[in-house]
């Protein structure tokens, strides 16, 4: 099975619109995974029914047994996240769940073993049935750590659903940035589709993303979105691609009809001229992957 991930570094360059477009253009069923668990939007463009919903548990949070606590304050001293407090008039320490990382340092120093730990539900995972194939999407809880673990789980489920159905290709909609959730999304993929835009910010963030691809030894191709917004930047991106020997598989013009289509929850391929461009891009991506699909529907 092949696995591609759509990444960008900078947010808002068009990852989700393009992921949805590829899925809709695909000649065979694909397995979709939304790895942007902090702002999961793929399900807004690829409609279907969520057939299951499951809590995702990772990490722990501290709990102080107020009867056993002697209010000595040893835990407050060692907590590096200011997550445990001892108000002046209190007779027991109090944990603030939001900054608590469940590191257990407090429990090591507690003289009365008053601190215990419970699992944290960090998010929810949904399975969806769609016309283009199975999809996994997820939502990270507010202010949660462990987004990387949730991304890894989304990928695992996306792959296993593909394998169970004999699907050849998984398409992952990636998170922005270059940190932990992106590492979870990029490790071991067949191809990174790097979506940038013709702005100085887009170029700057693309450079960092391509460096990260090098770090993970991941093969990449580039799509330049809104390429006509700044011709100078587009030329710089083209020079960068040439230097790094990375193929540019698409240049999409800025078109106000795209955000208008998205507002109607429609992928950009509803616009005929844009559809032609993205079809060409999709063909190039299949070629890079060595997939020769003939249309079935």
What is the contact surface with other proteins in residues (CB under 8 A)? Answer: 9-13, 16, 38-41, 44, 59-60, 78, 80-81, 98, 101-105, 108-109, 139-140, 142-145, 147-148, 175-180, 183, 197-202, 204-205, 208, 211-212, 215, 226, 229-230, 232-233, 254, 256, 259-260, 262-265
Residue where the block lists tokens 């998170």: 175
Q: For other proteins, which is the closer residue by CB, 16 or 31?
A: 16
Q: For other proteins, which is the closer residue by CB, 167 or 218?
A: 218
Copy the structure tokens of residue 272. Answer: 């005929």
Residue where the block lists tokens 């509803």: 270
Residue where the block lists tokens 């391509």: 210
Which residues are CB-contacts of 169 (< 8 A; sequence separation ≥ 6)? 1, 2, 3, 4, 26, 28, 30, 31, 162, 289, 291
- DSSP alpha helices (H): ranges in 26-146? 42-45, 74-78, 105-109
Q: For other proteins, which is the closer residue by CB, 88 or 142?
A: 142
> Residue 133 carries which DSSP code?
E
Instruction: Give the bridge partners for 32, in sequence order.
Output: 135, 171
Element (H, E) at 184: helix 180-186
Provide, rounded to whole angstroms, the least separation between the CB of residue 159 and other proteins: 22
Provide, rounded to whole angstroms, the least separation between the CB of residue 58 and other proteins: 11
Provide, rounded to whole angstroms, the least separation between the CB of residue 18 and other proteins: 13
Provide, rounded to whole angstroms, the least separation between the CB of residue 167 and other proteins: 26
Provide, rounded to whole angstroms, the least separation between the CB of residue 24 and other proteins: 17
Q: Which of 109, 42, 97 is closest to 69 using CA atoms?
A: 109
Q: For other proteins, which is the closer residue by CB, 35 or 162?
A: 35
Q: For other proteins, which is the closer residue by CB, 45 or 169?
A: 45
3-state DSSP percent of the chain in helix, strand and coil, to 5: 35, 25, 35
Q: For other proteins, which is the closer residue by CB, 148 or 250?
A: 148
Provide, rounded to whole angstroms, the least separation between the CB of residue 176 and other proteins: 4
Provide, rounded to whole angstroms, the least separation between the CB of residue 294 and other proteins: 33
Nearest-angstrom CA–CA distance, 110 and 251 = 60
Copy the structure tokens of residue 16. Answer: 């989700």
Nearest-angstrom CA–CA distance, 269 and 280 = 12
Q: For other proteins, which is the closer residue by CB, 167 or 210?
A: 210
């Amino acid at each position: 099975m092949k696995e591609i991930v759509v990444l960008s570094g900078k947010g808002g360059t068009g990852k989700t619109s393009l992921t949805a477009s590829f899925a809709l253009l695909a000649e065979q069923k694909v397995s979709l995974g939304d790895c942007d668990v902090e702002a999961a939007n793929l399900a807004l463009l690829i409609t279907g029914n969520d057939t299951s919903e499951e809590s995702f548990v990772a990490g722990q949070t501290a709990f102080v047994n107020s009867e056993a606590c002697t209010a000595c304050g040893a835990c407050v001293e060692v907590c590096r996240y200011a997550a445990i407090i001892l108000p002046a008039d209190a007779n027991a320490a109090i944990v603030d769940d939001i900054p608590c990382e469940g590191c257990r340092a407090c429990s090591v120093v507690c003289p009365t073993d008053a601190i215990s730990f419970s699992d944290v539900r960090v998010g929810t995972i949904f399975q969806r049935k769609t016309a283009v194939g199975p999809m996994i999407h997820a939502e990270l809880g507010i202010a949660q750590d462990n987004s990387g673990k949730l991304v890894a789980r989304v990928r695992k489920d996306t792959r296993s659903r593909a394998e169970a159905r004999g699907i050849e290709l998984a398409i992952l909609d990636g998170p922005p940035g270059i940190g932990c959730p992106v590492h979870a999304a990029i490790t071991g993929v067949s191809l990174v589709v790097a979506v940038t835009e013709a702005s100085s910010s887009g170029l700057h963030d693309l450079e960092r993303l391509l460096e990260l691809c090098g770090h993970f030894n991941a093969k990449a191709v580039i799509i330049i979105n809104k390429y006509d917004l700044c011709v100078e930047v587009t030329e710089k991106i083209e020079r960068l691609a040439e230097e790094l020997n990375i193929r540019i598989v698409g240049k999409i013009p800025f078109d106000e009809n795209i955000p208008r289509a998205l507002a109607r929850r429609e992928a950009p391929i509803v616009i005929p001229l844009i559809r032609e461009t993205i079809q060409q891009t999709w063909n190039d991506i299949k070629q890079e992957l060595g997939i020769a699909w003939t249309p079935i529907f």
